[in-house]
Structure 1
Amino acid sequence: MSDFLNVAGKTYLVMGVANRKSVAWAIAKTLEEQGARVVFSVRSEARKKSLETLLAGKLVFICDVEQEGACEKLAAEVAAANLAPLHGIVHSIAFANYSEGFKPFHETKRKDFLQASAISAFSLVELSNALKPHLARNASVVTIGISSLQVTPDNYGYMGPIKAALDSCSRFLAKSFSTDTEVRFNVVGSGPLKTSASAGIPGYLESYLYSEKLTFRKKNLETQEVANTTVFLLSERSSGLNGATLVVDAGLGANFFDKEIIRLAMRMEK
C-alpha cells in the first residue's frame, strides 16, 4: 500500500504534550503510526518527569519558551543530536494566568497579557527563527489555534486576542520564510475539545455542552480529529496550503441559528 502522506522516515518536533489527553500527544501518536520519527519538547524538568511513562524511550528536550534564549538552546540541542533536517514542527503551546478568576476584559493586567502573549503567540516566532537552519527546505510548521477569532466568550478571557495574534504570526512567518525557503506555516483552528487544559477553565463544561448542540452532527470534536488534520498539514499532501487557518469544528461556526437552540432560548424567555 502506498504511503499517501509520505511522512514515514521523516523527523518531527512536537511541543506541548502535557498528558494522554493532549492534542500534541494525539498528533505525535498519529505521526508515529505513519512511520515518522517524533521528538518532543516540554516546558520543564518536572513536566518531563511526569511524562516518563508516556514518553518512555523517546527523545525529550526541555524548552520553557517564556525564558529568553530557550528556543536558541533547543535549536542547539537539536543540532547536537543530529536530528536535522526537521521536516515539521507542531506548536501546541498556550498559557494564561486565571488564578484570580475571570475579570472583564478591560481589567486585564499588563503582566498577565504579556506573559500569555510571549508563551502562546510570540514563542512561535522565536521557535521558528531559532530552528530555521535545521528545517528541511519544504518543512511544515503547524500551530493549534481556535475555530473562530470573532467570538467573545466570557470564560476565555484575554486569550481570544492572543490566539488572534498567534494566527497572524503564522501568516507573517509564512511570508517571511518564503523569501528563501519553501517552509509552510498553517494553523489548525480547533473547536472546543475535552482536554485537561480546558478542564481548568471556569465554566468550560457548560460552554462545551452548548457548543456540542451547535455542531451539525450534535457531537463535539474528538481530539483525534484535530490530530488528523494537523498530520495532513504536516505532510506533503497539503503543499498548496500556506498561511492558512484550517477550521475543524464540526460545523459549529456555521450553525448559530440551529432550530433546537432557538426553541430552547425562546422557551426560556417566556
Structure 2
Amino acid sequence: MDFLDLNNKKILVLGTANRKSVAFQTARVLEEAGAQVIYSVRSPERAESVRKLVGDAPIYVCDVERQEEIDDLRDKVAEEQGEIHGLLHSIAFADYSEGWLPFHETPRKAFLQAVDISCFSFIALANAFKECINPETGSMVTVSISTTRMAAENYGYMAPVKAALDSSICFLAKSFSHFSKVRFNAVCPGLLKTSASAGIPGYVDSYLFAEKATLRKEAVQTAEVANVAAFLLSPRSSGMNSQRVVLDAGMETNYFDNEIIGAQ
C-alpha cells in the first residue's frame, strides 16, 4: 500500500546541497514513495555537484535573491513538468563572515539578506507557483527550527529570521485559502549535524549539549526530519495547515534533567 499517496506526484525540492542536507534526504523519501522529484539549486556549480547525487532527475538553477530567476523557474517547471503537487523550501543563509557578534551589533546588510533568502523567498516562491500547484491537494513545506524563543548566542540573528518564517506560514495559508486548498506547514527540527550548521560559530558545542538534553540522549537525525517533511508534503497530512511540527526528541521538556544539573 502506498501510504503517503505520493505515487507519480511531482514535488519541487529547493535547497539540495549534499547528501547530508534535509532537502536531499527528503527527496530520497519522496522518491521511495513513488514521487517524481524536481530539483532546484542556487547555481550552475551546485547543479553539477547535485547531478552526481540525483542522476537523471530534472535540475533547475534559481538564485532566490533574484525575482526574475524565481519567475523563470516557475515558467520552466510549468512548461517542462506541468502541474506540481508539492514544494519543499529548504533554504537558509546567514553571513557570519564578520565572526560572532552580540545580537545588538547585527549588521543591517547581513540581517536583511538573511530575511530575504531564508524567509521572503518562501513567500515569493509560493506566489510564483500559485497557478502551478494542484489547488486541491497541493502542499508547501518549509524547514524552520524547533524554537525561536531560546536566545542561543552563537545562533545570532537567525532565530528572529526563522520566527518571521514561522509566522509567514500562517499568513500564506490564510491568503491561499481564498482560492485553493493548498496547505502550508513547517518542519522544525532541533540541532542537526549538517554541512550548513557546521558554518555556525560554536555550533558543535551546542549540538553536543542538545544531544545530552534530549530524552533519548541522542540528537535528532536528518533522516527523521526528512520523514516528517515527506509526510507534510503528502495528502496523508491533509488536515494539517498553518502548523509547526517540532522534532527535538523531547529536549524542550528535559531542561532540568538530573544528569545535566549534576554535571554543573
Shorter chain as denominator, the TM-score bin is over 0.9
* Corresponding residue for residue 46 of structure 1: 45
Tell me, which stretches of 5 or more residues in structure 2 are unaligned? none
Secondary structure in 2 matching 1:69? helix
Question: What do the CA deviations read for 1:154-203 (whole angstroms, capped 9, x no partner)?
Answer: 11111010000011111110010000100000000111110000111111
1:133 aligns with 2:131: yes
Tell me, which stretches of 5 or more residues in structure 1 are unaligned? 266-270
* Corresponding residue for residue 209 of structure 1: 208
* Corresponding residue for residue 119 of structure 2: 121
* Corresponding residue for residue 86 of structure 1: 84
**Which amino acid in structure 2 is aligned with residue 91 of structure 1?**
H
- Residues of 1 paired with 2:82 and 2:257: CA distance? 49
- Residues of 1 paired with 2:157 and 2:69: CA distance? 25
Shift of residue 51, structure 1, vs aligned partner: 1.9
**Which amino acid in structure 2 is aligned with residue 197 of structure 1?**
A
Number of aligned pairs? 263
* Corresponding residue for residue 249 of structure 2: 250
Shift of residue 50, structure 1, vs aligned partner: 2.0
Shift of residue 72, structure 1, vs aligned partner: 1.0
**Which amino acid in structure 2 is aligned with residue 159 of structure 1?**
M
- Residues of 1 paired with 2:73 and 2:36: CA distance? 18
Runs ≥4 in structure 1, deviation > 4 angstroms?
Answer: none
Shift of residue 141, structure 1, vs aligned partner: 0.5
CA contact 2:13–2:89 (8 Å) conserved in 1: yes
**Which amino acid in structure 2 is aligned with residue 173 of structure 1?**
L
* Corresponding residue for residue 35 of structure 2: 36
What are the equivalent positions in structure 2 for 1:42-121 lying under 5 Å apart?
42-81=41-80, 83-121=81-119
Secondary structure in 2 matching 1:146? coil
CA contact 1:84–1:136 (8 Å) conserved in 2: no
- Residues of 1 paired with 2:242 and 2:33: CA distance? 25
Secondary structure in 2 matching 1:240? coil
Question: What do the CA deviations read for 1:102-133 (whole angstroms, capped 9, x no partner)?
Answer: 10111111111111100000000000000110
**Which amino acid in structure 1 is aligned with residue 68 of structure 2?**
G
Shift of residue 253, structure 1, vs aligned partner: 1.3
- Residues of 1 paired with 2:3 and 2:55: CA distance? 29
**Which amino acid in structure 2 is aligned with residue 108 of structure 1?**
T
- Residues of 1 paired with 2:15 and 2:192: CA distance? 15
CA contact 1:7–1:31 (8 Å) conserved in 2: yes
Shift of residue 73, structure 1, vs aligned partner: 1.1
Secondary structure in 2 matching 1:20? coil
* Corresponding residue for residue 268 of structure 1: none
- Residues of 1 paired with 2:93 and 2:194: CA distance? 14
CA contact 1:39–1:59 (8 Å) conserved in 2: yes
**Which amino acid in structure 1 is aligned with residue 72 of structure 2?**
K
**Which amino acid in structure 2 is aligned with residue 85 of structure 1?**
E
- Residues of 2 paired with 1:129 and 1:257: CA distance? 43
Shift of residue 52, structure 1, vs aligned partner: 2.5
Question: What do the CA deviations read for 1:235-258 (whole angstroms, capped 9, x no partner)?
Answer: 111111100000011001111111
Secondary structure in 1 matching 2:60? strand
Secondary structure in 1 matching 2:25? helix
> Over the residues paired in the alignment, what is the CA RMSD in angstroms?
0.8
1:8 aligns with 2:12: no
- Residues of 2 paired with 1:157 and 1:66: CA distance? 21
CA contact 1:84–1:135 (8 Å) conserved in 2: no
